[in-house]
Amino acid sequence: MTIQQALERLKAAEVRRLPVSSLKTDEAMQPRHGRLVPFREQMRTERRSEGHIGSMRLALEAAQTVQLEPVLVAEIDGGLLVVDGHHRLKAYQLAKRETIPARMLPMVRRMAVLVSKLVNNDARALEMHDEQKRDAAWQYLAEVTHRGTQKLPAGESIRTVAGRFGIAKDTVQRMLRMLPRVNQKKYEGQLDPGTGWPRWRVVRRGPDGWTQDAEEMDMEQVTQHRAEMLAKKIGALIDSDTPEVVRRALEMLKIEDQLAANDEDTRAFAIETADEDADY
């Protein structure tokens, strides 16, 4: 069974009501990974996500007769994992609903992971970010081409992949060229949690273009992590104002840096504190 066939069967499955508490989520089946989004857009993306959940929650709280589109669920080894509908599930939880409409299909974990990447590119109220779409396409291509060792399967083409994921055909061609060149060992800590394959954004930038999410990080990784968080905040500030205001603010900071660098007292202090043999 192909990934597309599995998705079609899941969408055609009978709608049933499942206890909200019986459904579990897994990062591996959430292609809307926040860190795939550029720093300056992360805050805006998070706000859109929260607003989308809030709107659905209000609708559910307005009347018990209101129901949202059924979530898609994979039955894996007796457990029920959400493949599509994480925002809807959250809305049902916040609205304190006990059951949720769902379509369910038994499948292996790897198939469920890939189906989640395919289905999240369907037309929907909360569209995926372009970076998330590209990564989903990259992971899909890695699977159907056996990580670049085979051609696209019958019925699949550069055009169909581009159309299905909403990305440029040139991007698909570039991905196909790069797949067989990827040395997975160089990207430890920078892999998709579901497929175990490096992220597209990482591959196109090189092994050092991403910071791993590790529980134990050395000082350099801690510094990089803090820099990413600051970049996210700065990006949100820049995005919230006009280009002219941003330009002037950056110019003011630049002038201050130049004045500080040319200040004699500042230079003297820097020299003195850098001299280990200074006479105190």
Per-residue pLDDT, 232: 66
Please, are residues 112 and 7 in contact by the beta-carbon 8 Å criterion? no
Find where tokens 């510094």 sit. 223
Residue (of 90, 30, 83) closest to 54 by Cα position = 90
One domain for residues 18 and 110 = yes
End-of-domain residue from the set 60, 93, 116: 116
Range of the domain at 228: 219-274
One domain for residues 205 and 224 = no
One domain for residues 108 and 13 = yes
Per-residue pLDDT, 156: 92
Per-residue pLDDT, 213: 38
The total number of structural domains that make up the chain: 3
Establish if 54 belongs to a structural domain. Answer: yes
Establish if 123 belongs to a structural domain. Answer: no
The reply to whether the predicted model has a pTM over 0.85 is: no
Q: What is the per-residue pLDDT across 108-162, written as a single tens digit (0 to 9) for each?
A: 999 999 999 888 776 565 778 888 889 999 999 999 999 999 999 988 999 999 9
Contacts of 200 (CB under 8 A, 6+ apart): 134, 135, 137, 138, 139, 175
DSSP 186: G
Q: In a structure prediction context, what are the per-residue pLDDT tens digits for the chain, which is 280 residues long?
A: 888 899 999 999 999 999 999 999 998 888 776 666 666 677 777 888 888 899 999 999 999 999 999 999 999 999 999 999 999 999 999 999 999 999 999 999 999 999 998 887 765 657 788 888 899 999 999 999 999 999 999 889 999 999 989 889 999 999 999 999 998 888 887 889 889 999 998 888 765 544 433 333 455 655 766 676 677 667 767 777 788 887 787 787 777 666 655 655 555 555 555 555 544 4
One domain for residues 204 and 233 = no
Please, are residues 110 and 140 in contact by the beta-carbon 8 Å criterion? no
End-of-domain residue from the set 209, 229, 252: 209
Phi and psi torsions of 87, nearest 5°: -65, -40
Q: How far apart are CA 11 and CA 71, in angstroms?
A: 9
Please, are residues 41 and 235 in contact by the beta-carbon 8 Å criterion? yes
Question: What Rg value do the Cα atoms of the chain yield, rounded?
Answer: 24
Residue (of 29, 33, 3) closest to 202 by Cα position = 33
End-of-domain residue from the set 51, 83, 116: 116
